[in-house]
Amino acid sequence: MTMKFHTPEGPVPAIDSVPVLTREGSMGERIPATDRTRVVREAHRAVYDRETIYEILDEGFVCHVGFTVADQPFVIPTMYARVGDELLVHGSAASRMLRHLSEGLPVCVTVTLSDGLVLARSVFNHSMNYRSVVALGKAALIEDAEEKRQALFAFTEKLIPGRWKDARQPNEKELKATSILKLPLSEVSAKIRTGGPEDEQDDYALDVWAGVIPLRLVAGPPVRDERCDLSIDTPSYAANYER
């Protein structure tokens, strides 16, 4: 896997730079659909293009991790990051989810972005514009300390680019207390809905407003921690944060 790293000043091969989370040669590649990832309902909304799938993953913040232990299904929301062709999730080494998944349990990871409320003329045809990804497979535990550190770097920079260099980086004790799993993005698909309402032909004559209310994630002004020294300037990446 060839990773690219860059800073505003240009390319540098260092861990404290900002990663472009892509793999050379992967963009535009179609991921073969399997019986498990092929979209059946509304199949015209299916997307198997790797670039589009990665754009959705890179925009989202939270994934839902589904797995089964002793016939009991669990679905856990958690933060994630993508590095190349792998999806990373992390948490406490004592986490039930990470402990069981590291043993090779099959996993289903989903990410959904809500783009708009679609108001039709009939209640039945109301909908939502969205972009979603489903990834299946078995996750592996990252054992190598340097790879784990790179993964935590990816998590931090996904949250807010530039933060890794400003904040204290994890020490050896913290690295040992953290488990990180990587899931190969080899069995994955996306489903996307865009556009306006789709009404029954007779309903277009109804005297009812129809259309789309766009949705987007908007950051508010940063709120200083009460124990943060007032002499410390708010960093530009926090003051000017946008999605």
What 3 state SS string does the chain have? CCEEEEECCEECCCCCCEEEEEECCCCCCECCCCCCCCCCCCHHHEECEHHHHHHHHHHCCEEEEEEEECCEEEEEEEEEEEECCEEEEEEECCCHHHHHHCCCCEEEEEEEEEEEEEECCCHHHCEEEEEEEEEEEECEECCCHHHHHHHHHHHHHHHCCCHHHHCCCCCHHHHHCEEEEEEECCEEEEEEECCCCCCCHHHHHCCCCCEEEECCCCCCCCCCCCCCCCCCCCCHHHHCCCC
Question: What CATH code would you report for 30-217+228-239?
Answer: 2.30.110.10
* Cα–Cα distance measured from residue 63 to residue 127, given in angstroms and rounded to the nearest whole number: 22
Question: Is the per-residue pLDDT at 143 higher than 90?
Answer: no
Q: Within its chain, how far is the Cα of 148 from the centroid?
A: 18
Looking at residue 32, its pLDDT comes to 87
Looking at residue 28, its pLDDT comes to 67
Per-residue burial over 3-27, b if 16 or more Cβ lie within 10 Å, else e, is: eebeeeeeeeeeeebbbebbbeebe
Looking at residue 123, its pLDDT comes to 97
What is the pTM for the complete model shown?
0.84
Nearest to residue 85, comparing CAs of 51, 39, 36, 48? 51
Looking at residue 16, its pLDDT comes to 37
Looking at residue 40, its pLDDT comes to 86
16-25, 111-120, 181-190: least confident range? 16-25
- Give 147-186 pLDDT, tens digit per residue: 999 999 999 999 999 999 999 999 999 988 888 999 999 9
* Cα–Cα distance measured from residue 57 to residue 98, given in angstroms and rounded to the nearest whole number: 20
Looking at residue 164, its pLDDT comes to 96
Average pLDDT over residues 83-101: 85
- Mean residue pLDDT of the chain comes to 87
* Cα–Cα distance measured from residue 129 to residue 136, given in angstroms and rounded to the nearest whole number: 23
% of the chain residues with pLDDT over 70: 88
Where do the structural domains in the chain lie, given as residue ranges?
30-217+228-239
- Give 41-58 pLDDT, tens digit per residue: 888 899 999 999 999 999
Give the gyration radius of the chain's Cα atoms: 21
